[in-house]
Chains A and B, each alone.
Chain A
Amino acid sequence: MTAVPIRDHEPAALRVRRMSGQVGWAVLAWVVAIAFFLPVLWMVLTAFKPESAAQTWPPKFIFSPTLAQFRLVFSGWGPYVTHSLIATTISTVLVLALGVPAAYALSVHPVPRWRDGLFFFISTKMLPIVAAIGPLYVLALHAHLLDSIWLLIILYTAMNLPLAIWLIRSFMLEVPREMLEAAELDGAGRLREMTEVILPVISPGLVSTALICVIFAWNELFLALNLTVTNAATLPMFLISSVPQEGLYLAHLSAAATVASIPVIIVGWIAQRSLVRGLSMGAIK
């Protein structure tokens, strides 16, 4: 005999109350989602408009689409996207290469005063970047690194490293102590312990950390704007160029922004399972 679902016994008054509660939350969720999504939708739609149609208020939802803006974007974005790609990938690789040993020294085999080290890393994020831009400019000037892609790589690495160390450390803390002891008993030295046990176990966490670093580096504007001109200009600066002194090229800006967001959206979509798993893995600690 199959079980009868309990809802069939529910008295009518209770059911009305329950369902209206559910409907209420559903409506609220949709309203919030649409409120957040509308600007994005507007941006994507505007990307297909000619410049004249883009400036109207209220925004037109019915128009004859054109690819002219996209053509402009693709013809102009070449060096910018290259610089963004280089700066993002190399800085992320460096962040992982430096962050993993640092996190290891702060979690699995903690060094003395590890708490101080951890706090120091996080404290660097407490300084508003605006306050540091002056000294950074001077330092870059003297090091002949202004408008150099290497400057961005160094700065993006430094920018993402504290967060990466914090995240990777929390993943490493999740590795069961007994597993590490078993590896120690099996004769694995520090290096083997890392490569054979720790890294494979935390690999989803490493992927999600890398993705977060990619997102931050890809979208970074302030440093790029102030410390580069042409030789290292990144994609966000290309977006800014749609807003010159003379006017506001909204359609061009929308097209450029749409194109600039796509790589990150695709990467995030592909790795969304790993992202959720990685982020929730370290969530409790």
Chain B
Amino acid sequence: MAQVKYVSASRVYAKDAPPAVDTLDLDIKDGEFMVLVGPSGSGKTTALRMLAGLEPLDGGRVEIGDKDVTFVPPKDRDIAMVFQNYALYPNKTVAENMGFALKMQGVPKDERGRRVREAARLLDLDDKLLDRKPKALSGGQRQRVAMGRAIVREPKVFLMDEPLSNLDAKLRVQTRSQIAELQRRLGITTVYVTHDQVEAMTMGHRVAVLAGGHLQQCDTPRQLYDNPVNQFVAGFIGSPAMNLQKVPLADGGARLAGTVFPLPAAVRSAASRAGLSELVIGIRPEHLHLANGSGVRGGSGARGGSGARDSSGALAGEVTLVEELGADALLHVRLAGSGDLIVARTEGRRTPAPGQQVTFRVQPDDVFAFHPETGARLAG
């Protein structure tokens, strides 16, 4: 049983400064891959180090497997950590690096050797490498040795602090899937810290989004994407980021780019209940659908036969930049009327050229609305 719990855990560095981690409440199930994600300074690394015991708690407690470990020294918590810079011992061979923790525990030499070789096999580390020193290895190999050092210990919890950030892009993508698969195979509870939301989304069973020391939302990747609970999560998760605009409310919807954009009834009633005259709307790039032909401002273009019954809003603008991704393309569009920039995702084959006038249609249900001050999602 190795579930992990943060119960109102806090960490404050300077007396009058805001807490680095502010009363964090997080339940991680046994065998779960939990990703802590957020921008720099969000408190994710601090939270991880609190779990490791490298950082003391100023409030609350941390539990591993139902046991309060807040005051237990790191080596007695039965955890293993992979550091961002790997922290390998430069004067020891790979085998000695991986077996160091076992040596400290007094495990006999043969048993150590067996477990080291087993972990090396699991990580595709050649036997030849076992006698080399870290400086003779490539970055990817060093990263695997760092992981091997953790795996050998067969701990209750794996802690990983941005282990992929020192790898080149291609290796990162490759190793990402290897780590996820490894975790699935070993079934050990893993807490993984990253600032890269793509890593978070692809690897985690659940993802905890942190900002400014506060937990914003903890959910499955799909839920985070489809149902962000506030503006920060909506803008952080998803690449390219959701288009967010502060817009005044108008009759039946919001005023955007010179037209009145229809909003769902639930959103409108939530806004009026909160007494708002403006709000922030968010539209994901893939929900901006290119209308057939570059339309006249106003939306119901000449070819739009179904335009009459279409309840979708329409946005018109001029293409400023086209980013080719291969299968897709990203259009940077300057909206008519307001001059705001939005990003839309379209099919890669027939993209408009820069300078061209385009019109987008959006389904009202695809529009997110947020409170302009608190950022909280208005019921949709």
Number of B residues with CB within 8 Å of any CB on chain A: 21
Stretch at the interface among B78-86, B185-193, B204-212, B344-352: B78-86
Partner of B91, one of A185, A192, A200: A200
Q: Are B104 and A187 in contact (CB under 8 A)?
A: yes
Question: Interface on chain A toward B: helix, strand, loop, or mixed SS?
Answer: helix
Q: Are A185 and B89 in contact (CB under 8 A)?
A: no
Residues of A with C-beta under 8 A to B104 = 186-188, 192
B105 within 8 Å of A (CB atoms): yes
B302 within 8 Å of A (CB atoms): no
A212 to B91, CA, bound (A): 25
B52 within 8 Å of A (CB atoms): yes
A182 within 8 Å of B (CB atoms): yes
Partner of A178, one of B74, B84, B91: B84
Map CB proximity to B onto A245-273 as digits: 1 under 8 Å, 0 otherwise.
00000000000000000000000000000
A210 to B334, CA, bound (A): 69
Q: Are A186 and B87 in contact (CB under 8 A)?
A: no
* Closest chain B residue, CB of each to CB of A197: B89
The A-contacting residues of B in range 292-332, CB under 8 angstroms, are none
B100 within 8 Å of A (CB atoms): yes
* Closest chain B residue, CB of each to CB of A181: B54
Map CB proximity to A onto B76-104 as digits: 1 under 8 Å, 0 otherwise.
00011101110111111000000011001
Q: Are A184 and B75 in contact (CB under 8 A)?
A: yes
Q: Are B101 and A181 in contact (CB under 8 A)?
A: no
* Closest chain A residue, CB of each to CB of B86: A178
Closest-CB distance, A30 to chain B (whole angstroms)? 38
A176 within 8 Å of B (CB atoms): yes
The B-contacting residues of A in range 163-199, CB under 8 angstroms, are 176, 178-179, 181-188, 192, 196-197
Residues of A with C-beta under 8 A to B100 = 183, 186, 188, 196
Residues of A with C-beta under 8 A to B74 = 181, 184-185
Closest-CB distance, B330 to chain A (whole angstroms)? 38
Residues of B with C-beta under 8 A to A200 = 89-91
Residues of A with C-beta under 8 A to B84 = 178
A281 within 8 Å of B (CB atoms): no
A186 to B78, CA, bound (A): 10
Closest-CB distance, B54 to chain A (whole angstroms)? 5
Residues of A with C-beta under 8 A to B83 = 178, 181-182
Map CB proximity to B onto A185-221 as digits: 1 under 8 Å, 0 otherwise.
1111000100011001100000000000000000000
Residues of B with C-beta under 8 A to A182 = 81, 83, 87, 89, 149
Q: With A184-B75, A185-B81 known to touch, is A179 a contact of B87 (CB < 8 Å)?
A: yes
Q: Are A181 and B87 in contact (CB under 8 A)?
A: yes
* Closest chain B residue, CB of each to CB of A182: B87
* Closest chain B residue, CB of each to CB of A188: B104
Residues of B with C-beta under 8 A to A201 = 90-91
Residues of A with C-beta under 8 A to B90 = 200-201
Residues of A with C-beta under 8 A to B88 = 179
Q: Are B80 and A185 in contact (CB under 8 A)?
A: yes
A184 to B54, CA, bound (A): 9
Partner of B105, one of A183, A185, A187, A196: A187
Q: Are A178 and B85 in contact (CB under 8 A)?
A: yes
Residues of A with C-beta under 8 A to B79 = 185
* Closest chain A residue, CB of each to CB of B81: A185
* Closest chain B residue, CB of each to CB of A180: B87
Map CB proximity to B onto A138-182 as digits: 1 under 8 Å, 0 otherwise.
000000000000000000000000000000000000001011011
Residues of B with C-beta under 8 A to A179 = 87-89
Determine which residue in A181, A186, A188, A197 has the highest number of CB atoms from chain B within 10 A of its CB, and name it.
A186
* Closest chain B residue, CB of each to CB of A192: B104
Q: With A185-B52, A185-B80, A187-B75 known to touch, is A176 a contact of B105 (CB < 8 Å)?
A: no
A187 to B152, CA, bound (A): 14
The B-contacting residues of A in range 10-48, CB under 8 angstroms, are none
Residues of B with C-beta under 8 A to A185 = 52, 54, 74-75, 79-81, 101
Residues of B with C-beta under 8 A to A178 = 83-85, 87
A197 to B104, CA, bound (A): 13
A184 to B77, CA, bound (A): 12
| Closest 6 pairs (CB-CB, A-B) | A187-B104, A186-B101, A200-B91, A178-B87, A187-B75, A182-B87
B interface vs A, CB < 8 Å? 52, 54, 74-75, 79-81, 83-85, 87-92, 100-101, 104-105, 149
Not counting A182-B89, A187-B75, a sample of 5 additional A-B residue pairs whose C-beta atoms are within 8 angstroms of each other reads: A176-B85, A182-B81, A185-B101, A188-B104, A201-B90
20 A–B pairs (Cβ distance < 8 Å), ordered by A: A178-B83, A178-B87, A179-B87, A179-B88, A179-B89, A182-B89, A184-B54, A185-B52, A185-B54, A185-B81, A186-B75, A186-B100, A186-B149, A187-B101, A188-B75, A196-B89, A196-B92, A200-B90, A200-B91, A201-B91
